[in-house]
């Protein structure tokens, strides 16, 4: 598989390309299946429909990898928290984690076993996906998940979770350790079910100052990746912490690919990390509104990376109103222009 080879730093005939959120609202075909499912969470829990929407961008766009259709928050859901996706508000936990009693109710093994619908989805995808196309499994980073679990929903201030970091760090570490144990088992089961690559998303990495980031987030991501690489050395691990360009000097660990977000200059990422890791990214997603902007963005990244140790992607998720034709154009241009 060209995508797996690229993630492991091997030479490939062109630079493989996929997009974060490639199975999503910009595709009319996705919206039809979501409407049939009834709501977002039901779609995540329906292996047949989740398989269908995972495969759509592979068939429609020609990307080099499929990424499992799911959501990072199914993990705290199956640990025992009540989750709803509310129109206009997004995901909401009705009873956020506030104290040790709440933490004690969260069940590690119950969560790993309760995510069976995800493993079944992966098995179905791998059964239908072309042999030369990779399947990416994923999870949210412990810090990102813990933030949702404590705040109860998305946040701009991170006031509750950051208060805990400084006022009760032992409690935060206990929560993060518990989530980490779930994610080790969850990622392992994804690999056993047929995922060829796994990726950990730290969407809210930028909320933390440097010392707190490495203590409360990166250390746990490293723990998960080391666990997986120790047992499955042939399976590439991608880590994607969003918005930490100022901390790149201190990035280390046992993983294969570092995801570069669009706010981090690719030149900087290459200088600091290109000798240690394959880099993934980092086209600004809004460039996809214009074919001229797509061309310029691709040219810049090719010039920086020289087709070496690189996986092409957006620097975050594709937006819902991007024209499908522009997404197709982006994929085709990358595959054509990076041919050796």
Q: C-alpha distances in angstroms, 204 versus 110, 218, 220, 260?
A: 26, 12, 14, 14
Residue range of the domain that includes 287: 2-337
The answer on whether 275 is annotated among ligand-binding residues is: no
Phi/psi of residue 126, each to 5°? Answer: -65, -30
Q: How far is CA 83 from the centre of its chain?
A: 20
Q: What is the pLDDT of residues 270-287, one digit of tens each?
A: 999 999 999 999 999 999
28-46: string of b/e by CB count within 10 Å (b at 16+)?
Answer: eebeebbeebeeebebbbb
Model confidence at 167, pLDDT cuts 50, 70, 90, reads very high
The answer on whether 22 is annotated among ligand-binding residues is: yes
- Rg, Å, the chain Cα set: 19
pTM for the full predicted model: 0.98
Other CB atoms within 10 A of residue 321 CB: 9
Q: How many domains does the chain have?
A: 1
Q: C-alpha distances in angstroms, 126 versus 104, 188, 198, 225?
A: 36, 16, 14, 22
Domain CATH for 76? 3.20.20.210
Say which DSSP state 182 is in: H
Model confidence at 89, pLDDT cuts 50, 70, 90, reads confident
Which residues are annotated as catalytic? Answer: 21, 25, 34, 71, 148
318 by Cβ neighbours in 10 Å (0-12 / 13-18 / 19+) ranks as buried
Model confidence at 289, pLDDT cuts 50, 70, 90, reads very high
The answer on whether 234 is annotated among ligand-binding residues is: no
């Amino acid at each position: 598989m060209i995508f797996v080879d690229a993630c492991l730093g091997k030479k490939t005939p062109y630079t493989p390309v996929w997009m974060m959120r490639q199975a999503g609202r910009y595709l009319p075909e996705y919206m039809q299946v979501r409407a049939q499912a009834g709501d977002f969470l039901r779609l995540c829990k329906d292996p047949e429909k989740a398989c269908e929407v995972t495969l759509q961008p592979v068939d429609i766009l020609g990307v080099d990898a499929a990424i499992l259709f799911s959501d990072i928050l199914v993990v705290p859901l199956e640990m025992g928290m009540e989750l709803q996706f509310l129109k206009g508000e997004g995901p909401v936990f009705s009873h956020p984690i506030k104290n040790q009693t709440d933490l004690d109710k969260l069940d590690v093994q119950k969560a790993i076993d309760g995510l069976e619908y995800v493993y079944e989805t992966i098995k179905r995808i791998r059964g239908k996906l072309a042999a030369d196309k990779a399947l990416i499994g994923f999870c949210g980073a412990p810090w990102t998940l813990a933030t949702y679990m404590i705040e109860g929903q998305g946040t701009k201030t991170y006031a509750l979770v950051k208060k805990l970091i400084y006022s009760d760090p032992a409690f935060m570490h206990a929560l993060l350790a518990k989530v980490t144990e779930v994610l080790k088992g969850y990622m392992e089961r994804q690999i056993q079910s047929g995922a060829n690559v796994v990726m950990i998303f730290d969407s809210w990495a930028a909320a933390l100052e440097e010392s707190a980031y490495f203590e409360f987030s990166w250390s746990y991501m490293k723990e998960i990746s080391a666990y997986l690489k120790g047992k499955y050395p042939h399976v590439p691990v991608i880590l994607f912490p969003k918005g930490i360009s100022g901390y790149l000097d201190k990035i280390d660990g046992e993983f294969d690919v570092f995801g570069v977000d669009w706010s981090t200059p690719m030149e900087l990422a290459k200088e600091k990390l290109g000798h240690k890791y394959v880099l993934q990214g980092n086209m600004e997603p809004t460039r996809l509104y214009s074919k001229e902007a797509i061309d310029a963005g691709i040219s810049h990244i090719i010039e920086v990376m020289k087709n070496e140790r690189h996986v092409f992607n957006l620097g975050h998720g594709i937006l819902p109103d991007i024209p499908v034709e522009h997404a197709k154009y982006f994929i085709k241009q990358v595959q054509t222009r990076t041919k050796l």
